Amino acid sequence: MTSSPPTGVFVPVPTFFKPASASNSLQPQVDVDTQVKHSIHLAKNGIRGLVLLGSTGEAIHMSKQERFDLVSGVRKGLNDAGYPDYPIMAGVLINSVDEVLEWLQDFKKAGVQWGLVLAPGYFGAAANQENIREWYTVVADHSPIPILIYNYPGVTNNVMVTPETYNILAQHPNIVGCKMSHGNVSYHVQVSLDPEIDHNKFRVFSGFGQQLGPIVFFGAAGVIDGLAAMYPKTVSRLMNLSEKRPIEPKVHEEIQALQYAVSTAEEYIGKWGIVGIKEGVYRVLGMGTLEGGRLPLKGKLPDGSDKSRPYYGARIVLTCETRSPPNAI
């Protein structure tokens, strides 16, 4: 039987690069050691799985060999740290079916369990739902590992995968879930509650932690959330409480407080994106650099940005982080 990802919080981890001054190349070199260190930290603090080389992971800025070395390095590092078979998805961010399958073959060799395959959106305005379904079916038919549908309209010319398309593709034995990185909560709920979908096999994840409580209450599997890259215990606790049944009044009050803190802090992620996540990880965990990603994502936050409401929202979460054990209920 095809394996499905577990429920819970996954982190779309940023890819760490060495300082430009330490790299003898056109671009900063990948820092696999820091990548492993961060991955182990997440595994120790309640995160149920990783997404490597997704949009946050800048896979499109990396070579084939760099992608393989990063993924295989993280897998080995987790195994050596006592986390064998720790759940890892890897992002596939291109449109050519042949290249998608090449990436998936490489990821299987590197030790990945699932491919998170971005909807083909270069010609987004011309991509009707029938063709999207055929594209994913061809990929799933030939993929060496199970795949999830990744719908991120912000990077695919506003392509939206509809609930009907999810319903149809969820029946494919090699398609085991989806990530919706958009604000249409109705789509999350429709797909999560669709009685024609086997939800033990097809898992629905949001890309936004600010949707965690509401969508998990209505059957979603969890979130793939950037804030958890720096505050894993808090987001994991919100997940653990939200999936608990029945929800007692005191638990409900804590869910509300945590969701408020997480939603407020998520404004920081929404405002500053990948550069903000990297700087947040550096500020909170002391990992990485303040140089941002590869061009055109090089740089740090402007001076004074820590006075903004989103940053202070992150401070609220830090208070929760220091007092909340990751798996306590």
Answer for the pair 131, 122: CB distance below 8 angstroms, yes or no: no
C-alpha distances in angstroms, 263 versus 24, 104, 197, 235? 41, 33, 29, 10
- Judged by DSSP in three states, 200 sits in coil
Specify which residues 222 forms β-bridges with: 8, 205
C-alpha distances in angstroms, 50 versus 118, 232, 262? 16, 12, 19
108 as an active site residue: the answer is no
Which residue out of 18, 179, 233, 278 is catalytically annotated?
Answer: 179
C-alpha distances in angstroms, 220 versus 45, 81, 273? 22, 30, 24
Give the largest Cα separation in the chain, rounded.
58
Answer for the pair 301, 279: CB distance below 8 angstroms, yes or no: yes
The pair of structure tokens assigned to 262 is 């997480």
Amino acid at 149: I
Q: Checking phi first, is residue 312 left (phi over 0); if not, alpha (psi -120 to 50) or beta?
A: alpha
- Could you list the active site residues? 179
